[in-house]
A = this chain, B = another copy of it.
Amino acid sequence: MARTAGSHSDITGPRIQQAAQRLFARHGYAAVSMRQIAGEVGVQAGALYNYTRDKQSLLFGLMQDHMQELLATWGARPQGNGPVAALEAFTRFHIRFHLERPEEVFIAYMELRNLTPENHAAISALRGRYEDGLEAILKRGVAGGVFDVADTKIATLAVIAMLNGVNTWYRAGGRLSLDEVETVYWDMVRKAVAPAAISTA
């Protein structure tokens, strides 16, 4: 046997990425074999190497695509007038974007240690750019007196960590709608960075 009926790189390529994403998210990069991925696609393991240089590139590709889409989508957003509106826009965007792609997010956070040093640096740089975007908002707010945080870098990481937590429990069709979840978190973020006695409620 050889080339199979209906085989097409436009089909197989994306299917390999999807299968890898599903399996990496579910079981972890190290626990997933190339044969498992191939099996999910309905192909032999050797065929994967028409689409990826090796297993590491498969992981890196997924993570890079995710981070670049995150940055591009965020960059194309209306930024909001003033730091408070910008922070609200960020909060709602972040929650929605991340809840829409739980697998990508999970991989992006859990599989960093399985990247080669160069790949790790590349992904970290992208993540840093995203974090800098939030920190810039906080800095403007602090300068303008509408926010009050002891350290904008720590506050940035604290806010992102808090927002990322939503991915651990939210399930579509649950008690709260996506919109309600956004509002609940925005309420906490807003207050957390607000000046001590002035609340914008």
Structural contact, A188 and B113, CB atoms closer than 8 A: no
With contacts A162-B158, A192-B192, A197-B199 taken as known, whether A184 is within 8 angstroms of B150 at the C-beta atoms is yes
Q: How many whole Å from A99's CB to the nearest CB in chain B?
A: 13
- Bitwise, A156-175 to B at CB < 8 A (1) or not (0) is 01111110111011000000
Stretch at the interface among A25-33, A40-48, A82-90: A25-33
User: CA separation between A181 and B151, bound complex, in Å?
Assistant: 10
B154, A184: Cβ atoms closer than 8 Å:
yes
Give the dominant DSSP class at A's interface.
helix
Contact B27 A113 (CB under 8 A): yes
Residues 138-166 of A, flagged 1 when their CB comes within 8 A of B and 0 if not, give 00000000000111001101111110111
Residues in B with CB closer than 8 Å to A59 are none
Q: Are B201 and A150 in contact (CB under 8 A)?
A: no
Nearest B-chain residue to A194, judged by Cβ:
B191
A201/B196 in contact, CB under 8 A: yes
Measured between C-beta atoms, what is the minimum distance from A23 to chain B in Å? 12
- B157 near A165 with CB under 8 A, answer yes
A-B contact pairs, 30 of them (CB 8 A): A27-B113, A28-B113, A30-B31, A149-B184, A150-B184, A151-B184, A154-B176, A154-B181, A154-B184, A157-B166, A157-B168, A157-B169, A158-B165, A158-B188, A159-B162, A160-B165, A161-B161, A161-B162, A161-B164, A162-B162, A162-B165, A188-B192, A191-B191, A191-B192, A191-B196, A192-B192, A196-B199, A196-B201, A197-B197, A197-B199
